[in-house]
Amino acid sequence: DSEVVLLGRSNVGKSTLMREITGHRFDTGGKPGVTRKPNHYDWAPEDFVITDLPGFGFMSGVPDEVQERIKTDIVRYLEEHADSILAGVIVLDGKAAVDIIDRHSGPDEIPHAVEMYGFLRELGIPVVLAVNKMDKVDDRDDRLNDICDRFGLLPPWKQWEGESVAPIVAKKGNIGALNEAVRFHLHEAKRDDL
Ligand code: GDP
């Protein structure tokens, strides 16, 4: 069975996106870190399952050891399912992502999103950066170029469009770029099977 996994820190709009994709309602605006277990749903137009993994990274009000356990669980889940995972979608807040990443970059620190990106790639899982909340971003091209840069993707971002970078506005149901990128990896995977 093919599977697409969704990752992202809390408040990036993961629940909103899941609602758009699946038509189900999710507990948006609820307590951060509430989703602790992987949840599986059918991705309507295509024949695969989408798995919502718990939010990682900083969650106010959630103790450090709980956050560590969540991260360990995510890593274990990805390792165990690597063979059937078609793509990993890392959801970012387009307005905040670069600042957050830069704040957590240092000699002894790697930002969670960047770490997860590298980990997925190590497991051979293609990654799509779903850059959400683009309605709040004025300098669209600059912002998307900066995001590419932080994840080690050579700018300009346009060359990753439809494959690794998908600007979206989940709140308005504007997720065509993400669907396109996921479909790209679906077809790549089918080709590899031949
Ligand atoms: P989660 O914690 O990642 O599941 O995030 P939610 O789906 O609960 O969304 C967090 C907040 O971001 C909510 O207030 C949403 O309405 C808002 N949000 C989600 N998607 C968008 C978007 O595309 N644009 C804007 N401006 N806000 C969004």
* CATH number assigned to the domain comprising residue 120: 3.40.50.300
- Is any atom of ligand 1 closer than 6 Å to the C-beta of 133? yes
Q: How many folded domains does the chain comprise?
A: 1
Contacts of residue 67, Cβ cutoff 8 Å, sequence gap at least 6? 33, 56, 57, 58, 59
188 Cα: distance to centroid of ligand 1 (angstroms): 30
| Ligand 1 atom with the shortest distance to the CA of 16 | 7
Ligand 1 binding pocket mutation candidate from 10, 16, 92, 132 (most atoms within 8 A of CB): 16
Question: Residues near 148 by Cβ (< 8 Å), separated by ≥ 6?
Answer: 154, 155, 156, 157, 160, 165
Confidence of residue 44 (pLDDT cuts 50, 70, 90): low
- Range scoring the smallest mean pLDDT among 19-23, 32-36, 104-108, 179-183: 32-36
Q: Give pLDDT tens digits for 54-90.
A: 887 656 677 888 888 888 999 999 999 999 999 999 9
Residue 176 has pLDDT above 70, yes or no: yes
17 CA from centroid of ligand 1 (Å): 8
Task: State the Cα–Cα distance between residues 23 and 46, nearest whole angstrom.
Answer: 14
Report the atom number in ligand 1 closest to the C-alpha of 136. 26
Helical H runs in the chain? 14-22, 64-81, 97-103, 112-122, 140-150, 176-193
pLDDT for 179 equals: 93
Q: How far is Cα of residue 31 from the mean position of the Cα atoms in its chain?
A: 20
Q: Look at residue 26 and tell me whether its pLDDT is greater than 70.
A: no
Atom 24, ligand 1: residue with shortest CA distance = 133
Do 29 and 76 form a contact (C-beta atoms < 8 A)? no
Give the distance (Å) from ligand 1 centre to CA of residue 170. 7
CB 136 within 8 A of CB 170: no
C-alpha span between 74 and 45 (Å, rounded): 26
Place of tokens 């793509």: 87
β partners of residue 174: 169
CA distance 134 to 174: 10
Q: Which domain holds residue 85?
A: 3-193
Q: Is 16 in the pocket of ligand 1 (CB under 6 A)?
A: yes
